[in-house]
Amino acid sequence: MAQESKNIQFELTEDLITQVEELIAKKNDRKLRKLLNGFHYADIAEILDEVNLDDAMYVIKLLDSETTSDVLMELNEDNREKVLQNLSSKEIAEEIEELDTDDAADIIAELSEERQREVIHHIEDEEHKAEIKELLRYDEDTAGGLMAKELVKVYETWTVAGCLRRIRGQAKDVTRVHSIYVVNKQNKLIGRLSLKDLIVAKSDEKIADIYIKSVDYVNVDEDPEEVAKVMAKYDLEAIPVVDDNMILLGRITIDDIVDVLREEADKDYQLAAGITADVEADDSIWELTRARLPWLLIGMFGGIGAASIISGFSEALRIYPALLMFVPLIQATAGNVGVQSSAIVVQGLANDTIDGNILSRLLKEALLGLVNGLAIAAIVLLISHFAFHTTYNESITICVALIAVIIMAALIGTFIPIFLDKRGIDAAVATGPFITTSNDVFGILMYFLIAKMILGF
Amino acid sequence: MAQESKNIQFELTEDLITQVEELIAKKNDRKLRKLLNGFHYADIAEILDEVNLDDAMYVIKLLDSETTSDVLMELNEDNREKVLQNLSSKEIAEEIEELDTDDAADIIAELSEERQREVIHHIEDEEHKAEIKELLRYDEDTAGGLMAKELVKVYETWTVAGCLRRIRGQAKDVTRVHSIYVVNKQNKLIGRLSLKDLIVAKSDEKIADIYIKSVDYVNVDEDPEEVAKVMAKYDLEAIPVVDDNMILLGRITIDDIVDVLREEADKDYQLAAGITADVEADDSIWELTRARLPWLLIGMFGGIGAASIISGFSEALRIYPALLMFVPLIQATAGNVGVQSSAIVVQGLANDTIDGNILSRLLKEALLGLVNGLAIAAIVLLISHFAFHTTYNESITICVALIAVIIMAALIGTFIPIFLDKRGIDAAVATGPFITTSNDVFGILMYFLIAKMILGF
On chain A, the residues whose CB falls within 8 A of the CB of B346 are: 269
Least confident among A78-92, B259-273, B329-343: B259-273
On chain A, the residues whose CB falls within 8 A of the CB of B303 are: 326, 328-333
What is the spatial distance between Cα A47 and Cα A39, in angstroms, rounded to a whole number? 10
pLDDT digits (tens, 9 = 90+) for A2-41: 334 455 557 788 889 999 999 999 999 999 999 998 888 9
What is the spatial distance between Cα A167 and Cα A180, in angstroms, rounded to a whole number? 9
- Kindly give, in sequence order, each residue whose CB lies less than 8 Å from that of residue B206, ignoring residues fewer than 6 positions away: B156, B157, B158, B159, B160
Q: What is the mean pLDDT of residues A75-84?
A: 89
- pLDDT value, residue B280: 78
**Residue B65 banded pLDDT, cuts 50, 70, 90:** confident
- pLDDT value, residue B284: 84
Question: What's the first-to-final CA gap in chain A, in angstroms?
Answer: 86
CB distance A249 to A243 below 8 Å: yes
Question: What is the nearest CA distance from B28 to chain A, expressed in angstroms?
Answer: 26
* pLDDT at B66 > cutoff 60: yes
Domain with CATH 1.25.60.10 in chain A: 2-146
* pLDDT at B357 > cutoff 80: no
Q: In a 10 Å sphere around its CB, with 0-12 CB exposed, 13-18 middle and 19+ buried, how is residue B88 labelled?
A: exposed
Smallest CA-to-CA distance from A113 within A97, A89, A129 is with: A89
Question: What is the nearest CA distance from A130 to chain B, expressed in angstroms?
Answer: 26
Domain with CATH 3.10.580.10 in chain A: 152-254
Would you call B257 and A257 a contact, using CB atoms and an 8 Å cutoff? no
What is the spatial distance between Cα A43 and Cα A54, in angstroms, rounded to a whole number? 19
Smallest CA-to-CA distance from A273 within A428, A411, A427, A440 is with: A428
* pLDDT at A129 > cutoff 70: yes
Q: What is the mean pLDDT of residues A148-161?
A: 89
**Residue A66 banded pLDDT, cuts 50, 70, 90:** confident
Long-range residue pairs from A102-105, CB within 8 A, at least 24 positions apart, any chain: A102/A135, A102/A146, A102/A147, A102/A148, A102/A149, A102/A250, A102/A256, A103/A69, A103/A73, A103/A148, A104/A128, A104/A132, A104/A135, A105/A132, A105/A135, A105/A136
- pLDDT value, residue B149: 92
CA distances from residue B343 to A319, A348, A440, B366 in whole angstroms, order as listed:
42, 21, 21, 16
The residues facing A219 across adjacent strands are A242
Question: What is the nearest CA distance from A416 to chain B, expressed in angstroms?
Answer: 15
What is the spatial distance between Cα A99 and Cα A210, in angstroms, rounded to a whole number? 33
> Where would I find the H helices in B123-223?
126-136, 143-146, 160-171, 195-200, 207-210
Rounded to 5 degrees, φ, ψ at B179 are -140, 155
State the sign of the Cα–Cα–Cα–Cα dihedral A222, A223, A226, A231: positive
CB distance A139 to A183 below 8 Å: no
Would you call B281 and A361 a contact, using CB atoms and an 8 Å cutoff? yes
Question: What is the nearest CA distance from B288 to chain A, expressed in angstroms?
Answer: 8
Q: In a 10 Å sphere around its CB, with 0-12 CB exposed, 13-18 middle and 19+ buried, how is residue B315 labelled?
A: exposed
Q: What is the mean pLDDT of residues A275-290?
A: 81
Higher pLDDT, residue A86 or A78: A86
pLDDT digits (tens, 9 = 90+) for B20-52: 999 999 999 999 999 998 888 989 999 998 899
What is the spatial distance between Cα A450 and Cα B16, in angstroms, rounded to a whole number? 47
Would you call A303 and B328 a contact, using CB atoms and an 8 Å cutoff? yes
**Residue B318 banded pLDDT, cuts 50, 70, 90:** confident
SS3 state at A352: coil
- pLDDT value, residue B351: 74
What is the spatial distance between Cα A449 and Cα A439, in angstroms, rounded to a whole number? 15
- pLDDT value, residue A1: 32
Domain with CATH 1.10.357.20 in chain B: 285-455
CB distance B94 to B65 below 8 Å: yes
- Kindly give, in sequence order, each residue whose CB lies less than 8 Å from that of residue A84, ignoring residues fewer than 6 positions away: A72, A92, A107, A110, A111
Task: Please tell me which residue of chain A has the smallest CA distance to B382.
Answer: A304
CA distances from residue A349 to A199, A346, B266 in whole angstroms, order as listed:
43, 5, 12
| Kind plus residue range of the DSSP H or E element containing A7 | strand A6-7
**Residue B277 banded pLDDT, cuts 50, 70, 90:** low
Would you call B258 and A261 a contact, using CB atoms and an 8 Å cutoff? yes
Would you call A232 and B258 a contact, using CB atoms and an 8 Å cutoff? yes
Question: What is the nearest CA distance from A121 to chain B, expressed in angstroms?
Answer: 30
CA distances from residue B32 to A112, A216, A410, B28, B229 in whole angstroms, order as listed:
57, 23, 41, 6, 43
Would you call A332 and B331 a contact, using CB atoms and an 8 Å cutoff? yes
Q: What is the mean pLDDT of residues A31-57?
A: 91
| CATH (one of 3.40.470.10, 3.10.580.10, 3.40.50.1170, 3.40.720.10) for A152-254 | 3.10.580.10
Smallest CA-to-CA distance from B211 within B158, B165, B258, B134 is with: B158
SS3 state at A156: coil
CATH number of A285-455: 1.10.357.20
- Kindly give, in sequence order, each residue whose CB lies less than 8 Å from that of residue B11, ignoring residues fewer than 6 positions away: none
Q: In a 10 Å sphere around its CB, with 0-12 CB exposed, 13-18 middle and 19+ buried, how is residue B237 labelled?
A: buried
Question: What is the nearest CA distance from A92 to chain B, expressed in angstroms?
Answer: 23
What is the spatial distance between Cα B18 and Cα B11, in angstroms, rounded to a whole number? 14
Q: What is the mean pLDDT of residues A65-91?
A: 91
Q: What is the mean pLDDT of residues A305-314?
A: 91
Smallest CA-to-CA distance from B445 within B253, B266, B313, B301 is with: B313
**Residue B356 banded pLDDT, cuts 50, 70, 90:** low
**Residue B350 banded pLDDT, cuts 50, 70, 90:** confident
**Residue B110 DSSP label:** T
- pLDDT value, residue A277: 64
* pLDDT at B172 > cutoff 70: no
Q: Quick count: other Cβ atoms within 10 Å of Cβ B293?
A: 18
CB distance B273 to A340 below 8 Å: yes
pLDDT digits (tens, 9 = 90+) for A187-225: 999 999 877 777 778 888 889 888 988 888 999 999 998
- pLDDT value, residue A195: 74
Fold of B2-141: MgtE N-terminal fold (1.25.60)
- Kindly give, in sequence order, each residue whose CB lies less than 8 Å from that of residue A198, ignoring residues fewer than 6 positions away: A160, A163, A164, A167, A180
Fold of A2-146: MgtE N-terminal fold (1.25.60)
Domain with CATH 3.10.580.10 in chain B: 152-264
- C-alpha B450, offset from chain centre: 43
The answer as to CATH 1.10.10.10 being correct for domain B152-264 is: no
Identify which of A191-200, B370-379, B384-393 has the greatest average pLDDT. B370-379
- pLDDT value, residue B147: 94
SS3 state at B206: strand
Q: What is the mean pLDDT of residues A400-408?
A: 95
On chain A, the residues whose CB falls within 8 A of the CB of B281 are: 344-345, 347-348, 353-354, 361
SS (H, E, C) A87-154: CCHHHHHHHHHHCCHHHHHHHHHCCCHHHHHHHHHHCCCHHHHHHHHHHHCCCCCCHHHHCECCCEEE
Would you call B237 and A7 a contact, using CB atoms and an 8 Å cutoff? no
AA identity, residue A96: I
SS3 state at B276: coil
Q: At what angle do helices A65-74 and A101-109 cross, to 10 degrees?
A: 60
Please tell me whether the overall predicted TM-score, pTM, comes out greater than 0.95 for this model: no
What is the spatial distance between Cα A373 and Cα A379, in angstroms, rounded to a whole number? 10
Cα-Cα-Cα-Cα torsion A153, A154, A156, A158, nearest 10 degrees, comes to 180
- Kindly give, in sequence order, each residue whose CB lies less than 8 Å from that of residue B15, ignoring residues fewer than 6 positions away: none
ipTM value for the complex: 0.78
Least confident among A330-339, A429-438, B173-182: B173-182
Would you call B289 and A372 a contact, using CB atoms and an 8 Å cutoff? yes
Which of the residues B4, B245, B287, B340 would you substitute to probe the A interface, choosing the one with the greatest number of A C-beta atoms within 10 Å? B340
Rounded to 5 degrees, φ, ψ at B248 are -70, 120
Of B196, B310, B388, the CB nearest to A324: B310
pLDDT digits (tens, 9 = 90+) for B281-314: 778 888 888 889 988 999 999 999 999 999 999 8
Would you call B269 and A437 a contact, using CB atoms and an 8 Å cutoff? no
On chain B, the residues whose CB falls within 8 A of the CB of A336 are: 274, 295-296, 299, 433, 436
